[in-house]
Amino acid sequence: MNRTTQHILTAAFLLMATCFCASAQDSLAVRKKTAKPEKPERKELKVTEYSDTYLDTVQLRKVFVLNDYSMIGVEYGASGSMTMFTPPKKQGYIIAPSTMGVYYTKYGKLFNYLPYFGVKAGLRYSASGYKFKEDKETHVTPTQDGASQALIRVLDVPFMGVFHVDTDHFSVLADLGIYGGYRTSIDRIGDRLDAEFRNKFMEHEHRIDYGVTGGVGFALVFAPFEFQVNANVRYSWGTLYDCDYASKYYYRFAYPLDVMVTGGLYYHLTRRTGKSRPQIKREAYDRVYNPQKYENPDSEDRK
């Protein structure tokens, strides 16, 4: 290879190298431009201002939100009682004016969503019994162990589920549950009654009582107080005496049925509506130590 050919090849190589370097610089410049694009300017939030005249015409609607609250109270009233005998006997209701009780009620949301349910438990002192009437056809008044009338005092513990519908100052109530109790005393009246058992239970008579209870009512609410009117029914599943005490062949049963009407005054132990003290304290804590919850418009607490 002569010197002229060497010079031509050297010049071509240098030209190609120069073109490659220029192309690489152009590619690097493009990469630098595309790697860090300029941030678009943030648009300022547009605030709409309203005149005082318009704001005076805006009507705000108050939203009623019921809390999971609890209360304690007392009830007093009267009862009417009869007993379902087998075989049946002609009778009417015996009225007793001393029905009283102390109750605790806790309202809560079913499935953490439906605010219509709760539980109610208490200690109740009331009456039960029977009062026979003369049969118009035979002109005979039935008796039970020589007594034509008996008033039985019962101390029981009801436990009920409550359904309630509420407004600002009014509630409609319904409850249903079970109870267990003890027949504390008995007062009998009858011409053929043995005087020994006028105020004493006989050996074959049962003093343990249990059954089903429930009723309806309404409440007037002026927080933290609540006045309730309730009508309750109590049906005993515990017969008054041994079913075979009179005959080993013919069983007899007697199940008391009582209707009670009471008025009660309750005191709210926690807030019925609005924020409770723990909620207010928590919100105050968050405003001091977690202010971003209230500064960020997309925060969950502001939705």
Mean pLDDT, residues 179-201 = 93
The answer, yes or no, to whether residue 93 has pLDDT greater than 60, is yes
65 vs 136, which has greater pLDDT?
A: 136
Contact 255, 236 (CB under 8 A): yes
Mean pLDDT, residues 171-177 = 96
The answer, yes or no, to whether residue 276 has pLDDT greater than 90, is no
11 vs 209, which has greater pLDDT?
A: 209
Contact 255, 83 (CB under 8 A): yes
What spatial distance separates the first Cα and last Cα of the chain, rounded to whole Å? 85
Mean pLDDT, residues 85-103 = 93
Q: What is the per-residue pLDDT for 299?
A: 47
- Confidence band for 262, pLDDT divided at 50, 70 and 90: very high
Q: What is the per-residue pLDDT for 167?
A: 87
Contact 248, 221 (CB under 8 A): no
Q: What is the per-residue pLDDT for 192?
A: 87
Mean pLDDT, residues 59-86 = 86
In whole angstroms, how far apart are CA 139 and each of 28, 52, 134, 135? 121, 86, 6, 5
Q: What is the per-residue pLDDT for 268?
A: 93
Q: What is the pLDDT of residues 211-250, one digit of tens each?
A: 999 999 999 999 899 999 999 999 999 999 999 998 888 8
What's the whole-model pTM score?
Answer: 0.72
Per-residue DSSP letter, 263: E
Contact 213, 206 (CB under 8 A): no
Q: What is the per-residue pLDDT for 206?
A: 95
Q: What is the per-residue pLDDT for 214?
A: 96
Q: What is the per-residue pLDDT for 170?
A: 93
The answer, yes or no, to whether residue 54 has pLDDT greater than 60, is yes
The answer, yes or no, to whether residue 297 has pLDDT greater than 70, is no
Across the strands, what pairs with 211?
179, 236
Which residue carries 């162990």 as its tokens?
Answer: 145
Q: What is the per-residue pLDDT for 246?
A: 86
- Confidence band for 168, pLDDT divided at 50, 70 and 90: confident
Q: What is the per-residue pLDDT for 32?
A: 46
What percent of the chain clears pLDDT 90, i.e. is strictly above it? 51
Q: What is the pLDDT of residues 147-157, one digit of tens each?
A: 999 999 999 99
Mean pLDDT, residues 97-101 = 93
Average pLDDT, rounded, for the chain: 82
Please provide residue 295's backbone torsions phi and psi, each rounded to the nearest 5 degrees. Answer: -85, -30
289 vs 140, which has greater pLDDT?
A: 140
